[in-house]
Amino acid sequence: VNYGDNGADGSLEAGGSDIDAVAGTYKIIFNENALTYTVTAYTIGLVGDATVNGWNGPDMPLSYDPFTDTWRAQVKLNAGKIKFRQNNDWAVNYGDTGLDGKLDAGGDDIPVTAGTYRITMDLSDPNNMTYTLTKK
């Protein structure tokens, strides 16, 4: 069984037309019972005066790893502060108010020293979102 969207309206029909896509990272929700779907752009990146593009972005992108359900990047940062944001926009951003490795929605900026970092962000548990900054 395969489904497509004959009207490009989010409703699915068995054997329907292919769904057009543009390259990028997306969150796709498929409801098999209602035969509907949604496709939403979904990126996570770093912003801040420690990044190459400063506080106005565009963000330094993290890549999604489906095997570990985490977002990752290896980046070179300047001394300064960073935050994580979704879709290059301030509507959804994360900082670390307690500087304890736990992410807080709209939390405080995260200070970093200059260097190359392996960064991992884990959003899989909304009650315990975490990140690690490992300096190389």
Dump pLDDT digits (tens) for 47-87: 999 999 999 999 999 999 989 999 999 999 999 999 999 99
Q: Are 64 and 110 in contact (CB under 8 A)?
A: no
Average pLDDT over residues 94-120: 97
pLDDT number for residue 115: 98
Q: What is the pLDDT of residue 21?
A: 87
CA distances to 14, 45, 63, 83 from 122, in Å? 36, 13, 12, 14
What is the pLDDT, as a whole number, of residue 7?
Answer: 87
Rounded to a whole number of angstroms, the distance between the first and last alpha carbons of the chain is 48
CA triple 44-83-106, angle to 5 deg: 95
User: Is the pLDDT score of 118 beyond 90?
Assistant: yes
Confidence (pTM): 0.84
Using the predicted structure, report yes or no on whether residue 109 has a pLDDT greater than 90: yes
User: 10 and 38 in contact (C-beta within 8 Å)?
Assistant: yes
Q: What is the mean pLDDT of the chain?
A: 95
Q: Is the pLDDT of residue 101 over 90?
A: yes
